[in-house]
Every structure is written in C-alpha cells, then in structure tokens.
Amino acid sequence: MRIHGIFLSMNHSNAAPVLEAISGFVERITFHNIENGYCVLRVNVRGHRELVTVVGYSHSIAAGEFLQASGTWVNSKGYGPQFKAEFLKVSPPTTEEGIEKYLASGMVKGIGPVYAKKLVLAFGVDVFEVIEFTPEKLQTLDGIGSHRSSLIVKGWADQKVVREIMLFLHQYGVSTARAVRIYKTFGENSIQVMTENPYRLARDVRGIGFLSADQIALRIGIEKDSLMRAQAGLNHVLFESTNQGHCALPIKDLLAKAQTLLEIPQEILDQALECELETGDLIQDTIENEVCIFLKYLYHSEQAIARLLKNTALGVLPWGEIKGDKEIAWVENQLSLTLSQSQRDAVHKALCSKVLTITGGPGVGKTTLVKSLMSILAAQGIKITLCAPTGRAAKRLSECTGKEAKTIHRLLEADPGTGKFKRGVDCLLPCQLLIVDEVSMIDVSLMLALLKALPQDSALFLIGDVDQLPSVGPGNVLSNIIYASSLPVARLTEIFRQASSSKIILNAHRINKGLMPTSPQKQEDSDFYFIETEDPENATHR
C-alpha cells in the first residue's frame, strides 16, 4: 500500500466571463436529456426578431414557460449563434396561449392537448390557481373524474416542488447543471440536505467536489471553523490522496494537509477526526509502526481482497494432481522450446497452486510461461479465461497466446452509464482458471470487483512486473500480494537470449539491482543511449 502523500495543489483559474441576462417564452424544445437535464431550446427572447437557441440544463421544461437565463453568447460551427446558459430559471406561463401550450406538453400528469384546451376555455389564466386551491372545480368538466383530478393535482405539486428547489439552489450560486444533478440525487429532500449538511454534495453528487461544496456551505452560513467543515475536509484530503495512489495517509500528514487546506485550529481537526473514527466513516490502523487513517471503503476493500484471495487459494485444484516433470517435457516438445530453470520451477508451483503470482522483469519469459501453462491445462480440459487491465495489454496477451483476452471491464461487463459491473457475486465468471496479466496496473477497487466475480472453485494466476509503475488508482495490489508472503509466488530471473540483445532490458535489470546502466560503445547500434546534457531540448539534436 502506498501511504506517503504529496502536498495538495490548487489551480487558480482566470476570472469568470461577465454573464448576460435574457428572458422570453419557450416556443419549442429541440432536445432534452432527462438523465442529466441538458436541453436545447428555441426561445422568443425580448429584443430579438427571430427565435434564439438557448442551451443549458433544466430538470424539467415545457413549451410555453417563461424563461430567465444568464450566460454568454457563443458561435457554434454547426448551429450558429447560441446562448449558453449558466443559470436557467423557468416559471409557468401567464397568457392563455402559453398556458395551453404548457399544459399540452405533458409536464403535468393527467393533462394532454385535449384537456389543456378544455381547462383554458373553462378557467382562462386562473387555471393554475384552480388546480392548486380549488381542485374540486376540475371535476365540473366533462371527462375529468376523481382519478384524473388527483393526477393533475399531484402533477402540478411535483412541478412546484422542483421549481422551489431550483430557486433555492440558484440563490446560493449553484449553476443549473449542478442543480439538476443535486435534484436527481436527493429529489424533494434537496433543500433539507443543503441546509443540514451541504458537504454531502461532494460525497454523493457526481461532478461536485469539496471546494465547490465548501463555497456553497459558506454562502449558506456554515461557519469556517465548524466541526462539519473539518470532518468534510479530512475526507477530502484522503480522497485527493487516492489520486496519487494512496489508500491511507499517516495521521500527522493528514492533519497537516487538512490544516493547510481549511485554515482552522488543530484542536477542531483533532475533534473532527475523533468523530469520524467513532462513526466508522474513517478507519485507523497501524502500518509499519505508523498510525494511518483510511477512507472506510478502501480499508474494507483491502480487507476483502485479502479474504477472497485466501478463500480462493483453499480447496481442490480444478485439474487435480499433475506430474510436473512429465508435463514440462510434453509442452517443450509441443511448443518447440526449452524452459529456463526458473520457468520450470514456476510450472511445478503453478500445477499445485490454486492462486499463484508470477513476477519478473522484462525479457524473462513471463508470456512463454503463461503459454506453456495454458497448453498443459487446456489439454486437461480446463476452461481458461484471459484478461488484462487495458486494451493494449489485452491485445498483446491475445497475440502472444493465440487465445482471446479481454479487458477486465469488458470481462466483467461494465455498464458505461452507471460504471457498475454485471458480473459479480450473483453472476460469476464461467471459468475454471483466470489468468490476469499486467496486474501492477490494477487498483484496489478493480481487483476487488474481479475477485468477487471469480468462482471460489476456480484457480487464479496473476502475472506482472512488480518494478513497473503502480496503478493510477489507489493501492499497490501486486506488490502487496508478493510481499505479504501469504500466497505462492514464482519469480522468473533468467533473461532470454533474444531479450539480452536489448540494452533497454539489460539496463532495466541493472537499475533494479542498484547498478548504473551501461551505455553503448561508439558506432554500436543500440536501442538505449545515454545523452549527457543540462538542457532536455538539446538532447533531440544529439
């Protein structure tokens, strides 16, 4: 696990452009995405002869509504001049024509074009007041009974709640796009959440981080030195550290970074940390004699990975008992190759292990070993599945083994909309052996998802170079598995002849051993050069 953090940095953006205000009636809706609220509207704007195209975000909108927006004019290459709304507010229309158009749009359940016309003819511009204050009058019209009347009243009330929530969010500087996401997340409880704990926005709403939530909180009136703000700040510092691959931070580093970020007294941070530990939102553990603080989900994810690996390692081998020496001779003949001693040792270890990690630097024959093991086990009728964390790694694995390899996300059948996986505890992978390449690139969350989808009676081979760069996400899974020494590890050491001609590979191994890399002799053709210069730009000309 990587626990040593780096100092947080804040980007200072340029001054925001001056916003212009427009208003008018919505003539028609060209496009509206109900998932994220994005909409393209044609609006009859005061002072403009022709309809204006307005793009922005609104949870609900209908033709006939009165629109007020602030934003900037942009010139789209494909669609011409547009008004890009940063804030967008709509209110019910006030003219009979606008009211009929609004009701006919279907925004209020129970009313379509036919009943919209009936309602406007009967009540004129007072139709909204009738729906809200004297709904019993609705049943005086032909075709409107108690059921339809109830639908209309509820539909109007729902729209009113949405408008009130949007108005509340706008007054505290929340853009319409963010307001839509907040409403999508919290629904009619949005105002309550915002007033009780606005920092929940950073935790629960996609696209809103701590700094944005903090600005909103301070506008609402949350004190700068409040315990709520300190607790949110601690979580933010830990979450930011995951971007550098850390699952935890030493407690002294966490408190120091939080104090720099929040500019509040140390005693408030100490109290906030104590509260977070008591509720279990943060977890404290000792790593190499240093007290560290974890985000709850990462701590439990690491614990779950360890538990699943141990459980998988237990039980009967899918291929039963196999004599290694006999199989090695067979596969060398089948593939016309000679395995090195470390590869032979790895074959023996693999054939008697349900979980095995195979590691080694470049050019030591990891792929050859995988291909040999696949040949041996496929001959035993074992159903083998291959995967890797990236498309490039999966493609290379397919080319080297002659068998299809998928990315982990494709294997687990990821849903691009939700980010969730179809494969899991309730929908296990159909394999007896799962081989995972480039494991050093896999973070904690992805490894946990993969292990959850692996049947417990299946075997697992993990392949990777522990000296490569670790995953972008939090955790150092491959390194942790190897150095825990709880599960079998096969280390490949011999550099093969075809790889030994590469100075890059040779020097990679020298550097891992703490030795200086060697430079090619004069006139020697090489894939590695050492160019001494104080200016990187000069290196391209040498």
DSSP 309-363: HHHHHSS--TT----HHHHHHHHHHHHT----HHHHHHHHHHHT-SEEEEE--TT
Q: How many beta carbons lie within 10 A of that of residue 131, not counting itself?
A: 23
Task: Return the pLDDT at 497.
Answer: 45
**Sheet of 433-436, strands arranged across:** 405-407, 384-388, 433-436, 459-464, 355-359, 489-491
Q: Shortest CA distance to 277 belongs to which of 266, 289, 293, 290?
A: 293
Q: Are 62 and 29 in contact (CB under 8 A)?
A: yes
Please state the domain extents for the chain. Answer: 17-91, 173-220, 227-297, 315-494, 502-541
What is each CA distance from 154 to 107, 110, 139, 188, in whole angstroms? 11, 9, 15, 14
Phi-psi region of 279 (alpha: psi -120 to 50; beta: other; left: phi over 0): alpha
pLDDT recorded at residue 538 = 63
The DSSP secondary structure of 376-416, one letter per residue, reads HHHTTT--EEEEESSHHHHHHHHHHHSS-EEEHHHHTTB-T
Q: What pLDDT is recorded for position 46?
A: 82
Q: What is the pLDDT of residues 406-434, one digit of tens each?
A: 999 999 999 987 889 999 999 999 999 99
Most distant CA atoms of the chain, gap in Å: 101
Instruction: Assign a CATH topology to domain 17-91.
Output: OB fold (Dihydrolipoamide Acetyltransferase, E2P) (2.40.50)
User: 342 CB contacts (<8 Å, ≥6 apart)?
Assistant: 360, 364, 490, 491, 492, 493, 494
What is the predicted pLDDT for the residue at 500?
47
SS3 18: coil
How is domain 227-297 classified at the architecture level of CATH?
A: Orthogonal Bundle (1.10)
Helices 176-186, 146-171: inter-axial angle, 10-degree rounding: 130
pLDDT at 165: 85
Supply the pLDDT for residue 280: 96
* Three-class DSSP category at 21: strand
Q: Are strands 433-436 and 384-388 parallel, antiparallel or unpaired?
A: parallel
Question: Class of 315-494 per CATH?
Answer: alpha beta
Q: What is the mean pLDDT of each run of 10 residues along the chain (542 residues)?
A: 34 59 91 87 90 90 88 88 89 86 83 92 92 92 91 87 81 81 88 91 90 91 94 96 94 96 96 97 94 96 96 94 92 93 95 96 88 96 96 94 96 90 96 96 96 97 85 90 93 67 57 65 62 65 58
pLDDT value for 6? 25
